[in-house]
Structure 1
């Protein structure tokens, strides 16, 4: 494979077969010279890096800093088969102009699908009706529940992130009005996304479902606070598949204890919650253990995204999922 660029895996090796099952490993090996049995968890302990042109990284990847780059003079691309690159890409990578690509777009898909399912189930009143049915063990056939339904409801999307955009795309076929709050989007772009741009305070006061998709930054901590929770209409459902710190947990618990709001939570702060948290037992809370992102066979989609990037790279084509370092400051 002398004509193929030398590549190296850098990640926790437990993820390698899930990200790159045999068919994908063969495709990757057809365009780069890479050893599936050599997976680096610590660059300090790694062998010679002087011939490596491509690093294929993933969860558990060691950090790429100036010291590592000094040992890898030929490195020209990092293909990250996971989401955010913030934790393992040092400034020296950007300064040297090394191309960095991420499978964040692939990971956005299952999160958006989870969110769509949660929106539709919440609008149908499934969580409350499940509790009632479990308690009463009977129901009247043909009884209409006037307080539920998805026709014409307003869904508020907080953040036009990759996941937020995918959620809005998935909502297009439904008779649902979408509100969007994002300080970096204008009204025209929001309309193109199928949403009406509003400010955050308007969104929380008008939406039937509030779905959080903003990045976890210092300025987004407790974006959903006591005041904004209090401004929500009775019956509003809060969905959080982003990060727990975006929602003030204590304030959310206080509102949920009244029964006025409901919540679908895949993330919390802290994570996991203490055993005594009321969120485990409240009937108006549907909570899952941080599983909205890629799970099981969905990891192979992230591997596929990076295999396709490797094919583009070796063909001299632009990377489709290249990370823009100028935008990292406002992304997860």
Structure 2
């Protein structure tokens, strides 16, 4: 019988009717009474800090399924012998949806209009909009591709940049020239060694005056100090779903600088997530039961065939 550990009772209620011949327990890293028996698949809580993966060291678990797309810092904390899978197909569309909302809100002055409304103030101003603008999306993976598709009806010209150039996608060598001509720059890259601090003072200096920087990737991709310096000058604007540090503490300069819109890392957390993560878990159970490798292993070791008694991986 398959052994499955889920982080919440709600997830168990949703999945139990869809999983026959599966022993399901509810537990999350750091909670008391960890599973004593071997575990085939353990689903992590949503947005769990990577450091909490250390709590898995004493468990006999084969595969860990994350509920997030990003997996930064996981390799530093994941105990040996466990395969770690990220949540491909769960958050890309919702994150792209928020990116569009951030672009539109910043371009059309929605934050300022809301503040005016709170004061009972009617202040009509012309705003730039999206029609006819050049939008540069840095990162052509799931989020970047979904974003480009959603931007198509807005009559904007969209350029995609990725580390590997291909048809319809520019390579890194084209980035400086594209930055100079972009009205909006959206960051949608995973956090890796080569992308940490990618948006530094030089990157920002290449952006045109008045351009909008949108970050739906990870806060550490942007040099916060360099961004604050540009925002203080009033040369650039920013719409940020992620920040460094995160959560952004009270009193941080980003809260009070003009031309800044901040959302609390909400990109992937829409109600569509539930059904999407359910499908991921059901498919992983099917694959492990059939002796197939799990999907989207991004860290750790790949497990062998799961035994009938469960726990075919780490001991």
> Is the structural similarity TM-score above 0.5?
yes
1:212, distance to aligned residue in structure 2 (A): 0.8
Q: Does the CA-based 8 Å contact 2:28-2:44 persist in structure 1?
A: no
Q: Does the CA-based 8 Å contact 1:81-1:306 persist in structure 2?
A: no
Q: Does the CA-based 8 Å contact 1:112-1:167 persist in structure 2?
A: yes
For the residues of structure 2 that align with 1:312 and 1:63, how far apart are their CA atoms? 26
After superposition, the C-alpha distances for 1:202-238 in whole angstroms (9 at most, x for unaligned) are 2321111111112223332321122221221122100
- Of the three residues 43, 47, 60, the one matched with 1:56 is 43
- Of the three residues 135, 138, 143, the one matched with 2:122 is 138
Give the corresponding residue for 1:323: 297
Q: Which has the higher contact order (CA 8 A, sep 6+)?
A: 2
Structure with greater proportional helix content: 1
Give the corresponding residue for 2:81: 92
For the residues of structure 2 that align with 1:256 and 1:43, how far apart are their CA atoms? 43
For the residues of structure 2 that align with 1:45 and 1:130, how far apart are their CA atoms? 48
Give the corresponding residue for 2:146: 166
Q: Does the CA-based 8 Å contact 2:89-2:276 persist in structure 1?
A: no
1:130, distance to aligned residue in structure 2 (A): 5.7
2:243 alignment partner, SS class: coil
- Check if 1:35 corresponds to 2:25: yes
1:172 alignment partner, SS class: helix
Give the corresponding residue for 1:82: 68
- Of the three residues 260, 269, 273, the one matched with 1:298 is 273
For the residues of structure 2 that align with 1:149 and 1:84, how far apart are their CA atoms? 30
- Check if 1:282 corresponds to 2:257: yes
TM-score, with length taken from structure 2: 0.76
- Check if 1:217 corresponds to 2:205: no
Give the corresponding residue for 2:3: 6
Give the corresponding residue for 2:15: 24
For the residues of structure 1 that align with 2:42 and 2:141, how far apart are their CA atoms? 26
Give the corresponding residue for 1:227: 202
1:219 alignment partner, SS class: coil
Q: Compare 249-258 and 120-129 and name the one that shifted more.
A: 120-129
Give the corresponding residue for 1:240: 215
Give the corresponding residue for 2:304: none
1:324, distance to aligned residue in structure 2 (A): 5.0
1:264, distance to aligned residue in structure 2 (A): 0.4
- Check if 1:102 corresponds to 2:92: no
Give the corresponding residue for 2:305: none
- Check if 1:258 corresponds to 2:233: yes
For the residues of structure 1 that align with 2:251 and 2:40, how far apart are their CA atoms? 50
For the residues of structure 2 that align with 1:62 and 1:229, how far apart are their CA atoms? 35
- Of the three residues 157, 171, 179, the one matched with 2:137 is 157
For the residues of structure 2 that align with 1:115 and 1:104, how far apart are their CA atoms? 18
- Check if 1:187 corresponds to 2:162: no
- Check if 1:115 corresponds to 2:99: yes
TM-score, with length taken from structure 1: 0.73
1:262, distance to aligned residue in structure 2 (A): 0.9
For the residues of structure 2 that align with 1:274 and 1:43, how far apart are their CA atoms? 27
Give the corresponding residue for 1:329: none
Q: How many residues align?
A: 292
Give the corresponding residue for 1:330: none
Structure 1: gaps spanning 5 or more residues: 327-332
Q: Does the CA-based 8 Å contact 1:153-1:176 persist in structure 2?
A: yes
